[in-house]
Amino acid sequence: MTIRALIAEDEPILAATLAAALGKLWPGLEIVATCPNGIDAVAQALALRPDVLFLDIKMPGQSGLEAAEELAERWDAALSFPEVVFVTAYDEYALAAFEHAAADYVLKPVNEARLGKTIERLRQRLANRSGDHGLAQLVAQMHALLPPAPQPQERLSMIRAAVGNQVRMIPLSDVVYFEALDKYVNVVTQEGEALIRVSLKELRPQLDDSVFWQVHRGTIVNIGGVASASRDDAGRLTLALRTRPEKLRVSPLYAHLFRQM
């Protein structure tokens, strides 16, 4: 069976060098797409369903880590998740994080000896994989590789949010969840919704993380407002809320928060 791969690298020369090295060391590998950024990589991966993803850590628009996180959330649970190899220019100190995570990586510029070891590991994993092994491997890697939570800032007690032509003062205790919407965050309460012009990443360190849990790349929920967590037949985890009718999807990267205690 032909193994298919996607390369995401914003520097064309480095992308071509990696493709050439892969062609030399893994002649049976088919490169189905080369993408200049993480946004294109996500779109192409969802369309083409490759077996292996080579994702540059630092790319404009969306990093390799962010692309991998989005793919983990959007991948069809009935299909095996691709094996992921991160492409990095990190120094030896930073590479220790990859080794500790048992993550596959390619160091820039490409070292064929190191790439050969990665290829052997990929071949073994692809030959032995079953079920959601690829996704489980990614989740294990991402827990070790995602940046640590931002240092706490002064905690918010009140949210000032726009509702039409008014500014509404919302006690933080009234918030059921926060939802990322492009350049805004939607503040959802039992009574309704309001917008604040801030990113979820900027908002997160101002919240008490013992009360507000990030459960998805675009969602932070007040855990006190969660009634239950349940899995569907495909293993996807969703949250039911006490005072709102909608269900909130939990990313595989945060599913460990809801393991039975």
Predicted pLDDT at 42: 96
To which residue do tokens 């071949």 refer? 123
Please give the Cα distance from 61 to 40 (Å, whole number).
10
pTM: 0.75
Q: For residue 160, which of 205, 100, 108, 203 has the smallest C-alpha distance?
A: 203
To which residue do tokens 């919302």 refer? 170
3-class SS at 114?
helix
Predicted pLDDT at 128: 81
Predicted pLDDT at 234: 73
Predicted pLDDT at 92: 61
Per-residue pLDDT of the chain (261 residues; tens, 9 = 90+): 789 999 999 999 999 999 999 999 999 999 999 999 999 999 999 999 999 999 998 888 888 888 988 998 888 878 888 999 988 887 665 566 676 665 688 888 898 998 999 999 899 888 887 655 567 677 767 766 766 666 656 788 899 998 888 888 999 999 999 999 988 999 999 999 999 999 998 899 999 989 999 999 899 999 999 999 998 887 789 999 999 999 999 988 888 888 764
Catalogue all structural domains in the chain, each as residue range(s) with its CATH number. Answer: 3-145 (3.40.50.2300), 158-258 (2.40.50.1020)
Tokens (6 digits) for 206: 């101002």
Backbone angles phi, psi at 43, to 5 degrees: -60, -45
To which residue do tokens 């407002």 refer? 225
Predicted pLDDT at 180: 95
Asked if residues 234 and 221 have their Cβ atoms less than 8 Å apart, the reply is no
